[in-house]
């Protein structure tokens, strides 16, 4: 008989790791970081019609020190890249990055010397969202997908083990994206 059957109902059993994941995913604070047209859709997501507050993240922070999610909404110019990196470095750990739209994900139609061909050249990206621009529903879907990743994020020794495994996998295949997400 498992312990769940012995204790009276009303008890909730979990692990610190799962509880931390639950708390983190339910209280993401995005940094205000709109760069181009995609930012209009990001702003629409915070409005009453789409109401991102339902997911505990209506408070976009103007200071990166109070934010743990960077939504890169729009194309990144070469001039903006060092600024973006500085904002990322100022954000508190643990932190996540969402590349919103084709421009942020790969440079999109701006295949030229002035635009960074994917924000993953500057910061580690946790989730890529295609579209030009992605609609608010798509942004919410990407964020909820990211929530699952945050919920499963290992802590302490488990995190070190996961990093070691990702490093091993990266040696076998240098393009492994998992490593980017774990090594901060
Ligand atoms: S993906 Fe489209 S909407 Fe978004 S920044 Fe690029 S051109 Fe603008």
107: its two tokens: 């440079």
Per-residue pLDDT tens for 98-156? 999 999 999 989 999 999 999 999 999 999 999 999 999 999 999 999 999 898 888 87
Residue from 103, 104, 114 to probe ligand 1 pocket by mutation (most atoms less than 8 Å from CB): 103
Domain ranges of the chain: 29-149
Per-residue pLDDT tens for 73-107? 999 999 999 999 999 999 988 899 999 999 999 99
Task: Report the b/e string of 125-161 with b at 16+ CB within 10 A.
Answer: bbbbbebebbebebbbebbeebbeebbebeeeeeeee
Mean pLDDT estimate for the chain? 86
CATH number of 29-149: 3.40.30.10, 3.40.50.12280, 3.40.50.10320, 1.10.3720.10?
3.40.50.12280
3-class DSSP state of 79: coil
Distance 109 CA to ligand 1 centre (A): 9
Q: Is the CB of 133 under 6 A from ligand 1?
A: yes
So what's the pLDDT on residue 26?
Answer: 86
Task: Please name the residue whose Cα sits nearest to atom 2 of ligand 1.
Answer: 132
What is the chain's alpha carbon radius of gyration, rounded to the nearest angstrom?
A: 18
Atom of ligand 1 nearest to the CA of 36: 5
d(CA 144, CA 164): 27
Name residue, tokens 């499963």: 152
Q: Are 161 and 130 in contact (CB under 8 A)?
A: no
Distance 115 CA to ligand 1 centre (A): 12
């Amino acid at each position: 008989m498992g312990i769940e059957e012995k204790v009276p109902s009303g008890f909730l059993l979990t692990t610190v790791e799962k509880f931390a994941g639950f708390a983190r995913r339910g209280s993401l604070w995005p940094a205000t970081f709109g760069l181009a047209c995609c930012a209009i859709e990001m702003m629409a997501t915070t409005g009453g019609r789409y109401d991102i507050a339902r997911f505990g993240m209506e408070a976009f922070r103007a200071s990166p020190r109070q934010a743990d999610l960077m939504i890169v909404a729009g194309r990144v110019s070469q001039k903006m890249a060092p600024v973006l990196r500085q904002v990322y470095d100022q954000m508190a750990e643990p932190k996540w990055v969402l590349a919103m739209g084709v421009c942020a994900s790969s440079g999109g139609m701006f295949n030229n010397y002035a635009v960074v061909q994917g924000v993953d050249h500057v910061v580690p990206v946790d989730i890529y969202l295609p579209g030009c621009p992605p609609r608010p529903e798509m942004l919410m879907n990407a964020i909820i997908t990211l929530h699952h990743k945050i919920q499963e994020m290992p802590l302490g020794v488990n995190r070190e083990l996961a990093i070691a495994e990702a490093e091993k996998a990266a040696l076998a295949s240098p393009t492994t994206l998992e490593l980017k997400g774990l090594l901060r």
